[in-house]
């Protein structure tokens, strides 16, 4: 049997014999491997970008009062958690959860009516009370180092300016761009008819029977005009969770901002959680409708969820929780769809490369039948010949795969330099297109291994046919 090093040298020489055909095959493998790695990098970026967007909006886990997730949509505040601070300390001190924990914060969700005093436009809205600095940490969760849309110059008109909320500004709030258009916040204030004489503020008492007196409400919250230089304000009216007369308050608009989804942009007003809690539960301790658990890694979600379940069961807590992908099932559906597309493209490229290598190997073997007969006559066994021909296919895949990795790495750098931006589906601001090739090396490994396996599989049949030829039959082609 010919020694392995000699097999290796012969395989390299045979590849170089027909340089044009070998170069075409290597180029096809390189382009397929590089293209597959780049597409895999794009898929990886898509998965991670949607994951960051979802976790940034909902956290990894949300803890609710039992029954909230199924029945709380109509009146979320009715399922508020009154002992938020105690529960937060309990979770933060748990020895299993603490090492995996990034942040625990609370939020309160409620529904109501909002009116712009300047334009007298009204709409229903979904109120979201948050701790401003903690909410910012959640929305900026970015373990994969993906480009921050707020730093893109094209998004400067949207994200520049004052912060959305501030811990010191209890009465400040932010409004989604879609809701701002409904309330005509960019429109000039409606002119009021001149009053014949200045009148004192209404001192009319509310109705004694506990009903809703529209004349009384109009007298207390009539049209207002913002003083020059003051921030515009909104009047908010909400129904208390326990029923009774609506509670009213005003917030100053700090900023008009885009939201993670268009649905949120068209309905959400974000404000300080203490202001929202006082509006819904006046004179009571801080209430929240959800406790948000943000982890350092999404891989720890199941472990923390199992631990939370054991705490709820052992301490008989009237709580439930949901994982981030359960709150927004779009993520799992999207990953499954794009994963199927990636598998389809992967298979198509593998089949194409397999046929190219098969054609190259078959043509080379037909041209070398005399050489094959001579090698067999010199004592090379069928298995030795098969191994040598397989080694040629392996080297074609190896060289093409390495060139493909270089193409993919170069493509990653080119995409970064081009600064391609676009508006993804369900998002209302620009995002920078990226391919996570160098930052997610698994896609390089998958593409490279695919090219090697494809080369070996497509070389197996021609090599087997050549090794089964009779010596005399092969020598007749000398």
- Tokens linked to 258: 């885009």
Return the exposure string of 428-457: e unless at least 16 CB atoms fall within 10 Å of the residue's CB, then b. bbbbbbbbbbebbeebbebbbebbbebbbb
Q: Which residues, 6+ apart, have CB-to-CB distance to 465 below 8 Å?
A: 365
Question: Over its length of 478 residues, how does the chain's per-residue pLDDT go in tens digits?
Answer: 445 676 677 777 777 777 887 888 888 889 889 988 999 999 999 999 989 989 998 999 999 999 998 888 888 888 999 999 999 999 999 999 999 999 999 999 999 999 998 888 999 999 999 999 999 999 999 999 899 888 889 888 878 888 889 999 999 999 988 899 999 887 555 544 444 444 444 445 544 444 444 444 444 444 455 555 567 899 999 988 877 789 999 999 998 888 767 778 889 999 999 999 999 999 899 999 999 999 999 999 999 999 999 999 999 999 999 999 999 888 888 889 988 988 888 888 888 878 877 887 777 777 777 777 877 788 778 887 788 888 888 888 899 999 999 999 999 999 999 999 988 877 778 899 999 999 889 999 989 998 888 888 888 888 888 878 777 776 766 5
Measured distance CA(344)–CA(327) in Å, rounded: 29
Q: What are the Cα distances from residue 64, in Å, to 174, 236, 315, 415, 441?
A: 25, 25, 15, 43, 38
Contact 256, 174 (CB under 8 A): yes
184: which DSSP letter? T
């Amino acid at each position: 049997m010919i020694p392995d090093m000699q097999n290796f040298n012969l395989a390299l020489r045979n590849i170089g014999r027909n340089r044009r055909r070998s170069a075409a095959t290597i180029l096809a493998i390189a382009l397929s491997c590089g293209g597959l790695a780049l597409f895999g990098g794009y898929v990886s970026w898509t998965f991670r970008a949607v994951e960051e967007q979802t976790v940034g909006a909902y956290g990894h886990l949300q803890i609710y009062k039992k029954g909230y997730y199924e029945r709380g949509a109509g009146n979320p505040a009715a399922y508020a958690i009154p002992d938020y601070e105690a529960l937060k300390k309990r979770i933060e001190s748990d020895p299993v959860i603490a090492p995996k924990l990034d942040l625990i914060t609370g939020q309160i969700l409620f529904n109501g009516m909002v009116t712009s005093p300047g334009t007298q436009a009204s709409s229903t809205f979904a109120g979201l009370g948050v701790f401003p600095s903690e909410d910012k940490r959640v929305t900026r969760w970015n373990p994969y180092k993906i480009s921050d849309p707020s730093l893109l110059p094209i998004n400067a008109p949207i994200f520049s300016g004052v912060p959305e909320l501030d811990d010191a500004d209890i009465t400040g709030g932010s409004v989604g761009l879609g809701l701002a258009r409904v309330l005509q916040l960019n429109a000039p204030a409606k002119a009021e008819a001149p009053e014949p004489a200045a009148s004192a503020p209404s001192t009319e008492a509310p109705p004694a029977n506990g009903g809703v007196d529209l004349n009384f409400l109009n007298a207390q919250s009539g049209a207002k005009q913002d003083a020059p230089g003051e921030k515009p304000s909104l009047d908010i009216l909400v129904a208390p969770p326990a029923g009774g007369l609506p509670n009213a308050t005003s917030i100053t608009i700090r900023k008009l901002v885009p939201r993670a989804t268009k649905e949120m942009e068209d309905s959400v007003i974000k404000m300080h959680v203490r202001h929202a809690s006082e509006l819904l539960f006046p004179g009571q301790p801080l209430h929240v409708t959800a406790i948000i658990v943000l982890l350092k890694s999404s891989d720890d979600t199941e472990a923390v969820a199992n631990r939370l379940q054991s705490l709820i069961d052992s301490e008989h807590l009237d709580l439930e929780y949901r994982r981030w992908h359960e709150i927004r099932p779009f993520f799992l559906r999207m990953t499954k769809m794009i994963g199927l597309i990636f598998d389809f493209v992967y298979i198509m490229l593998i089949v194409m490369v397999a046929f190219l290598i098969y054609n190259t190997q078959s043509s080379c073997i037909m041209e070398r039948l005399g050489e094959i007969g001579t090698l067999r006559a010199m004592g090379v066994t069928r298995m030795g010949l098969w191994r040598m021909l397989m080694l040629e296919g392996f080297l074609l895949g190896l060289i093409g795969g390495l060139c493909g990795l270089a193409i993919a790495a170069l493509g990653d750098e080119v995409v970064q330099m081009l600064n391609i931006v676009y508006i993804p589906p369900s998002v209302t601001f620009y995002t920078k297109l990226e391919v996570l090739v160098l930052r997610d090396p698994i896609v390089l490994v998958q593409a490279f291994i695919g090219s090697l396996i494809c080369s070996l599989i497509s070389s197996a049949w021609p090599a087997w046919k050549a090794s089964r030829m009779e010596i005399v039959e092969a020598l007749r082609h000398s």
